[in-house]
Structure 1
């Protein structure tokens, strides 16, 4: 039983549920950014989406390098929750703005990915 617990503790980030969720989030955000770029959406849409891609990528690299285990002075679950809440607020605003009548189909699709 101890061996099973030890294996669960040392599971690589990419194969964990948290890793799969972050990778899926990154894929959806990059897809949405690609739609905004192709549709030549207003720059704030692209910039905020690119900002989110950079933050998600930063967290993925941080967890892959296991820096969360080295920096124990930060409470990582709370940091993830704050990141998710800020992302939600930004992306809900972008999604609503993308649905304004003077938009193209690709901008609407990009906004709906959020």
Structure 2
């Protein structure tokens, strides 16, 4: 009698490494935005971090509820990688602009949290990029035809 192999259960998104990085990215961006709001920083600081909080929250809900599996017409990992890289650029730019003049302590703290969030944006993009590869375990190895037989 043949034995049936059970499929290994997939971990929920919130308990995966990608989920932890994305949630940590959300927490750091919210903290940065909070310090910018408390310090009454210029509006672009608050608006850009607010947009990033909204987009990160959208992706967390999307992956948690598994909507990425239901909506197949959009390639979600590619959108997530593009978002991560654009967010990293904007967060680095905003954080550097916040750190250069050193106007108030809260703006400097918000800039430091923004730089930490940009590091996690890059890490999040790298983790999701591995999902884009068809062979996520490593680079493509080309073999000769005569080696297959």
TM-score (norm 2): 0.69
Q: Give 4+ residue runs of structure 1 displaced > 4 Å after superposition.
A: none
| Whole-angstrom CA distance in 2 between matches of 1:24 and 1:35 | 17
Gaps spanning 5+ residues in structure 2: where? 115-149
- Conserved in 1, the CA contact under 8 Å of 2:48 and 2:90? yes
What is the deviation of 1:6?
2.5
Structure 1 segments unaligned to the other structure (5+ residues): none
Work out which structure has the larger RCO, using CA pairs closer than 8 Å and 6 or more positions apart in sequence: 1
Comparing 45-54 with 99-108, greater Cα deviation is found at 99-108
Q: Which residue of 1 aligns with 2:78?
A: 78
SS in 2 for 1:6: coil
Post-superposition CA distance 1:4-31 (Å, at most 9, x none)? x4313xx211111111111101000001
Residue in 2 that maps onto 1:7: 9
Structure with greater Cα Rg = 2
- Is the counterpart of residue 111 in structure 1 residue 138 in structure 2? no
| Paired position in structure 1 for 2:69 | 69
Q: Judging by fraction of residues, say which structure has more helix.
A: 1
Question: Helix, strand or coil for the counterpart of 1:72?
Answer: coil
Aligned to 1:49: 49
CA RMSD of aligned residues (A): 1.6
CA distance 1:27–1:75, shift in 2 (3 Å)? same
